[in-house]
């Protein structure tokens, strides 16, 4: 529709400073029967991708890091502080945000207005003395709507009526308002057209450039490689290799995955 291919819309990578601090450190993470011994760290400004086929354990790894699943082994630490296993509250309090694969059923309240979805994770900020300051809620949401070029730019618009790309922007806006340090993205452009993909890719890169550590999962290997600085290749719950995204292509990932699956 736009005349552009996906390969032409990835923003240029911005080198991550060698002295950038490690924001999230995952050590020996495992979930019995799904994946084992996942170790990775992500620095401020870095994007790390998880590449593999459907059923490889990619999404489950993100969910376990976020605390939506309780790890059977290993640790997750943010800024050197170990999180409580299986606790979303602990993850969010530490500054982890999560945009799930199924945004309509898991990430958004579709029949609520945009501003309510944007402020969902920071609700307490707008309540004082038992009273909710909805004017302030709308103001904060409107600022994010403007910054992310959400269309239509109406905080009171029902979320269900928006396109897939704009719904995804609402999820990202939520974590921007929250002040997220680490952002977990599962299928960030599923159900999004090529034009909106370009905007979301640019936004993800902008978040990284501002110092956010990002872990991204996608069933599209091209997307993982195009967005990421480093990539973990995963098959059947095992990490086969970790490499710079610029040092591997889609065929290389698939070769590793097929060999790992056959092993």
pLDDT value at position 34?
95
Share of the chain above pLDDT 70, in %: 95
What average pLDDT does range 7-25 have in this prediction?
A: 87
What average pLDDT does range 12-21 have in this prediction?
A: 89
pLDDT value at position 16?
92
Residues 6 or more apart whose CB falls under 8 angstroms from that of 208 comprise 14, 45, 46, 47, 214
Instruction: State the Cα–Cα distance between residues 236 and 37, nearest whole angstrom.
Output: 12
Separation in Å, CA 155 to CA 87, 108, 168: 31, 15, 15
pLDDT band of residue 3 (cuts 50, 70, 90) is very low
In the predicted model, what is the mean pLDDT of the chain? 89
Sketch out the chain's domains with CATH numbers: 20-95+181-263 (3.40.50.300), 109-179 (no CATH)
Instruction: State the Cα–Cα distance between residues 215 and 98, nearest whole angstrom.
Output: 10
51-106 per-position pLDDT tens digit: 998 889 999 999 999 999 999 999 999 999 999 999 999 999 999 999 988 888 78
Instruction: State the Cα–Cα distance between residues 185 and 124, nearest whole angstrom.
Output: 24
What average pLDDT does range 105-122 have in this prediction?
A: 87
Q: Is the pLDDT of residue 4 over 50?
A: no
- Phi-psi sector, 117: left (phi>0), alpha (psi -120 to 50), beta: alpha
């Amino acid at each position: 529709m736009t005349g552009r291919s996906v390969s032409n819309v990835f923003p240029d990578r911005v080198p991550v400073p060698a002295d950038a601090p490690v924001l999230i450190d995952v050590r020996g993470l495992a979930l019995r029967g799904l994946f084992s011994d996942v170790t990775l760290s992500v620095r401020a400004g870095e994007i790390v991708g998880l590449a593999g086929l459907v059923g490889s354990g990619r999404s489950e790894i993100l969910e376990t890091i976020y605390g939506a699943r309780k790890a059977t082994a290993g640790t997750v630490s943010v800024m050197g502080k170990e999180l409580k296993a299986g606790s979303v509250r602990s993850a969010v309090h530490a500054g982890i945000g999560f945009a799930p694969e199924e945004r309509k059923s898991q990430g958004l309240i579709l029949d609520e207005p945009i501003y309510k979805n944007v402020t969902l994770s920071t609700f307490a900020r707008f309540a004082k003395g038992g009273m909710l300051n909805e004017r302030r809620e709308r103001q904060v949401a409107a600022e994010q709507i403007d910054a992310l070029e959400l269309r239509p730019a109406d905080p009171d618009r029902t979320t269900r009526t928006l396109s897939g790309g704009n719904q995804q922007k609402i999820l990202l806006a939520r974590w921007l308002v929250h002040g997220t340090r680490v952002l977990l993205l599962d299928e960030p452009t599923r159900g999004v057209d090529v034009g909106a993909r370009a905007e979301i890719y640019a936004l993800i890169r902008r978040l990284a450039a501002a110092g956010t550590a990002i872990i991204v999962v996608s069933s599209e290997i091209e997307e993982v490689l195009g967005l990421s600085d480093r990539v973990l290749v995963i098959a059947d719950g095992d990490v086969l290799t970790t490499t710079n995204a610029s040092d591997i292509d889609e065929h290389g990932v698939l070769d590793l995955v097929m060999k790992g699956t056959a092993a």
